[in-house]
Amino acid sequence: MSKHAKRVYTDQASIQQLESLVDRLPVRGHVVLVMKDGSSCDGVVSTQPNMQMFRDAEEHEGINATVQLQRPDVPEWSRHVWLDQVLRVEHLDLSMVGDSSEFS
């Protein structure tokens, strides 16, 4: 993964929001990520989401986070998602159905 991101965050509120999303995405959890642009992406969390230091296009340093989703029924499919673009997490696991959160 590149050390560059379109958006980086240094304010505490944004960092806490990213931390909250990371906590809501357990490895092997089946989720739908509803994105801020209205699109959605569903899959199984394949690796622990992580927050990292990145640089934006102007070389400002800050935090962002990604998660990798996969689909067991389509082994060649995977997608990295920037967590700052996630509006809501919907859990499809039986133990977590009905559990979702929305972020602004």
pLDDT in tens, 6-35: 999 999 999 999 999 999 999 999 999 999
Domains for the chain: give ranges and CATH numbers: 12-95 (2.30.30.720)
Q: Is 47 left (phi over 0), alpha (psi -120 to 50) or beta?
A: beta
* Per-residue pLDDT tens digits for 75-87: 899 999 999 999 9
Residues with Cβ within 8 Å of 88's Cβ and at least 6 positions away in sequence, in order, are 33, 34, 100, 101, 102, 103
Q: Give the global pTM.
A: 0.85
- Structure-derived torsion over alpha carbons of residues 24, 17, 86, 6, reported in degrees to the nearest 10: -130
